[in-house]
């Protein structure tokens, strides 16, 4: 099968791109051909299809300038993306289109082009953009669902996007336009939700339940060498407000004999370091960004891993990495995270944002190294059985087949 992958970045920018490349490799291992469609960028992986990529736009800081207007136009509807996508369809002749993150930098203008040709279209959801202007559903330090259901203009008053009324108004108008034109929902034959939580939330917001299919992410645990002991607790991830690292630091400050290592960088790094200093949490060590072998060594040396998020995590790949390394976890009982822990067997869950409860849970594991080792072995077994690449491949193939059937049914109407 020849599958066209559409994603706004064609380099390893974040978790979504990591999944895109890992799924690409898995499909190619099974003799499928994967054709990319993305945004032009000097950091892109090499590909023979790059001449079809759309021009680069900057969305991190949109200004009132010619470049800013160009970016705003791309967010709403990109004629360039539609034109180049059509040319790619002509050249590649794919059997199926699988889109990931395409909004803003590419836009959903490409989707009707695929449907017009009778191609099945699948989308993997990596956030909440299909149902809300604020794709994280997190604002001002808390879960935010003010725009539910379809009250997108609430985002303007609440300044849900970057704390700006202008940015919020543009994104709210984008949502209203795309929904009016049916660019996403009328052109998707199957929607992949990485967690049951996301699946239920999409349906709750009005997306057709028959189209939303649950397929958890995967990890090749055979490439990890597990170790069932360790000398510190570990956090791995972005240092930003929604990740709840401040909650973890406050919890760790209650047990200064418990070493905590924090791997990652982000906009909250300075404030988190200041918090640790203010609390006298000398047991907290910031290691900065770690990748490759250094990151794996950080996992290997840990007794357990903590994922203290306070937003609706879509999935939680860090949990799978911990399990592959033979480590139990302590996670927030929120979003997709709660589904990744067998309570008392592979880890423990604490109420999101609750410092005392999190402190209690991490202390329970720290004070029981034998229990940690037992949980770590159970976690390794579970990740090998339930989140293996070959199982993921079979699940994806079932989604593709369902999308083909839905596309056929739609074409007959």
Distance (Å, whole) CA 160 – CA 169 = 9
* Mean pLDDT score, 87-112: 95
Would you say residue 54 has pLDDT above 70?
yes
Cβ-based neighbours of 323, under 8 Å, separated by 6 or more: 219, 221, 329, 346, 379, 380, 382, 383, 387
Sign of the C-alpha dihedral computed for residues 234, 237, 239 and 245 taken in this order: negative
Q: For the chain, first and last CA: distance in Å?
A: 26
pLDDT of residue 120: 97
pLDDT of residue 230: 97
Residue 285 contacts residue 263 (beta carbons within 8 Å): no
**The two structure tokens encoding residue 333:** 């009982």
* Mean pLDDT score, 115-143: 94
Would you say residue 1 has pLDDT above 80?
yes
pLDDT of residue 168: 87
Residue 229 contacts residue 256 (beta carbons within 8 Å): no
pLDDT of residue 59: 64
Cβ-based neighbours of 309, under 8 Å, separated by 6 or more: 242, 243, 244, 316, 331, 332, 334, 335, 337, 352
At 61, is the pLDDT very low, low, confident or very high (cuts 50, 70, 90)?
low
At 72, is the pLDDT very low, low, confident or very high (cuts 50, 70, 90)?
low
At 412, is the pLDDT very low, low, confident or very high (cuts 50, 70, 90)?
low
Give the side-chain half-sphere CA count within 13 A for 367.
Answer: 8
Distance (Å, whole) CA 398 – CA 394 = 6
pLDDT of residue 177: 87
Residue 328 contacts residue 372 (beta carbons within 8 Å): yes
Average pLDDT, the chain: 93
**The two structure tokens encoding residue 246:** 């401040």
Q: Which of 259, 288, 273, 263 is nearest to 362 (CA)?
A: 259
The per-residue pLDDT for range 171-211, each reduced to its tens digit, is 888 888 889 899 999 999 999 999 999 999 999 999 999 99
pLDDT of residue 170: 86
* Mean pLDDT score, 10-23: 94
Would you say residue 126 has pLDDT above 70?
yes
The per-residue pLDDT for range 134-173, each reduced to its tens digit, is 999 998 899 999 898 888 888 888 888 888 888 888 888 8
pLDDT of residue 64: 47
Distance (Å, whole) CA 58 – CA 81 = 15
pLDDT of residue 169: 87
Structural domains in the chain, CATH included, are 2-130+184-218+389-411 (3.40.50.2000), 221-386 (3.40.50.2000)
Would you say residue 68 has pLDDT above 90?
no
Paired strand residues for 193: 214
pLDDT of residue 413: 60
Q: What is the pTM of this model?
A: 0.94
**The two structure tokens encoding residue 393:** 């491949």
* Mean pLDDT score, 370-391: 98
* Mean pLDDT score, 367-392: 97
At 66, is the pLDDT very low, low, confident or very high (cuts 50, 70, 90)?
very low
pLDDT of residue 150: 85
Q: SS in 3 state form for the chain?
A: CEEEEECCCCCCCCHHHHHHHHHHHHHHHCCCEEEEECECCCCCCCCCCHHHCECCCCCCCCCCCHHHHHHHHHHHCCHHHHHHHHHHHHHHCCCEEEECCCCCCCCHHHHHHHHHCCCCEEEECCCCCCCCCCCCCEECCEECCCCCCCCCCHHHHHCCCCCCHHHHHHHHHHHHHHHHHCCCCCCCCEEEECCHHHHHHHHHCCCCCCCEEECCCCCCHHHCCCCCCCCCEEEECCCCHHHCHHHHHHHHHCCCCCCEEEECCCCCHHHHHHHHHHCCCCCEEEEECCCHHHHHHHHHCCCEEEECCCCCCCCCHHHHHHHHCCCCEEEECCHHHHHHCCECCCEEEECCCCHHHHHHHHHHHHCCHHHHHHHHHHHHHHHHHHCCHHHHHHHHHHHHHHHHHHHHHHHCC
Residue 57, judged by CB atoms within 10 A of its CB (0-12, 13-18, 19+), counts as buried
């Amino acid at each position: 099968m020849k599958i066209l992958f559409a994603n706004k970045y064609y380099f390893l920018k974040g978790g979504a791109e990591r999944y895109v490349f890992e799924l690409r490799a898995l499909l190619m291992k099974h003799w499928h051909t994967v054709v990319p469609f993305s945004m032009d960028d000097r950091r892109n992986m090499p590909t023979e299809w790059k001449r079809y990529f759309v021009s680069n736009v900057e969305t991190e800081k949109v200004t009132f300038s010619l470049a800013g207007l160009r970016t705003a136009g791309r967010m709403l509807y990109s004629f360039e993306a539609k034109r180049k996508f059509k040319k790619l369809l002509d050249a590649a002749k794919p059997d199926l289109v699988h889109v990931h993150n395409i909004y803003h930098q590419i836009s959903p203008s490409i989707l009707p082009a695929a449907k017009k040709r009778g191609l099945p279209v699948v989308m993997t959801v990596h956030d909440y953009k299909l149902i809300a202007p604020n794709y994280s559903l997190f604002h001002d330090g808390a879960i935010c669902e003010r725009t539910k259901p379809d009250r997108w203009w609430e985002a303007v008053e609440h300044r849900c996007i970057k704390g700006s009324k202008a940015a919020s108004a543009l994104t709210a108008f984008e949502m209203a336009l795309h929904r009016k034109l049916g660019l996403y929902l009328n052109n998707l034959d199957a929607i992949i939700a990485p967690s049951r939580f996301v699946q239920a939330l999409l349906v709750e917001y009005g997306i057709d339940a028959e189209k939303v299919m649950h397929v958890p992410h995967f990890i090749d645990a055979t490439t990890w060498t597990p170790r069932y002991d360790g000398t510190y607790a570990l956090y791995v991830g972005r240092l930003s407000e929604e990740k709840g690292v401040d909650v973890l630091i406050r919890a760790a400050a209650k047990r200064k004999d418990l070493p905590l290592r924090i791997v990652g960088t982000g906009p909250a790094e300075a404030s988190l370091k200041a918090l640790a200093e203010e609390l006298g949490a000398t047991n907290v060590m910031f290691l900065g960004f770690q990748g490759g072998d250094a990151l794996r060594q950080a996992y290997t040396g840990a007794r357990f891993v903590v994922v203290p998020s306070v937003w609706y995590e879509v999935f939680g790949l860090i949990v799978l990495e911990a399990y592959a390394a033979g480590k139990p976890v302590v996670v927030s009982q929120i979003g997709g995270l709660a589904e990744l822990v067998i309570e008392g067997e592979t880890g423990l869950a604490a109420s999101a944002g609750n410092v005392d409860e999190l402190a209690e849970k991490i202390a329970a594991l720290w004070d029981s190294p034998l229990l940690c080792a037992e949980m770590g072995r159970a976690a390794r077994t579970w990740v090998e059985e339930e989140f293996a690449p070959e199982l993921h491949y079979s699940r994806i193939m079932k989604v593709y087949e369902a999308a083909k059937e839905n596309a056929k049914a739609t074409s007959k109407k």
